[in-house]
Chain A
Amino acid sequence: DAGITQSPRHKVTETGTPVTLRCHQTENHRYMYWYRQDPGHGLRLIHYSYGVKDTDKGEVSDGYSVSRSKTEDFLLTLESATSSQTSVYFCAISELGSTGTGELFFGEGSRLTVL
């Protein structure tokens, strides 16, 4: 299994508070992603990174920011959490090139509840 760790795995917070989810990888993969999963919506891409300090928005980026200061860590921040951001968040990594198929490897998910 790919070395991907998400923290925290479970968090309950209140509306208006800041929240940061961390994704840590030991695979030295270039690409990292944050998805959220909600009933009826499948997985939706929030933000992704294609290198240190290189990030871009996905399809549901409003209310979220990300940072990647080093290859192994990709942080997802909710500046002021809202109840609509209650979800399961998945981090994923991938690599391209002659040694990689480009497939995604997923973390175990972080369940966030905003009251």
Chain B
Amino acid sequence: DAKTTQPPSMDCAEGRAANLPCNHSTISGNEYVYWYRQIHSQGPQYIIHGLKNNETNEMASLIITEDRKSSTLILPHATLRDTAVYYCIVRDTGNQFYFGTGTSLTVIP
């Protein structure tokens, strides 16, 4: 079974920050959190990942709680092209990635 829990859907106004939560309460100390998104029926695309510290790249920011049991993906200025399904994933020590059902984000004009 998936190791993460996400809300099934969210809306965000265009230009505003989109904050997508993820619960991974059973995560182990050396397991990474990854975020991917999938647009239509294309293969998922990598966004960002982290272990303990918060991370930022050109696409998004990842905030991981101190106890590592949850995280939030932040898209700082959502655009219509950010409408997609977002997956929060834990990569286990065997390098397996379990996806779950993700959050369907709709950016509203």
On A, residues with C-beta under 8 Å from B are 31, 33, 35, 40-45, 48, 50, 56, 58-59, 88, 90, 92, 94, 96, 101-109
| Contact of B32 with A106 in the complex, beta carbons under 8 Å | no
B85 to chain A: which residues have CB within 8 Å?
42
CA distance A33 to B91 in the complex (A): 13
Which residues of chain B in 35-89 are interfacial with respect to chain A, using CB atoms and an 8 Å cutoff?
36, 41-46, 49, 85, 87
Interface residues in B, total, Cβ within 8 A: 24
Whole-angstrom distance from the CB of B35 to the nearest CB of chain A?
10
A48 to chain B: which residues have CB within 8 Å?
95-96
On B, residues with C-beta under 8 Å from A are 1-2, 32, 34, 36, 41-46, 49, 85, 87, 91, 94-102
A105 to chain B: which residues have CB within 8 Å?
46
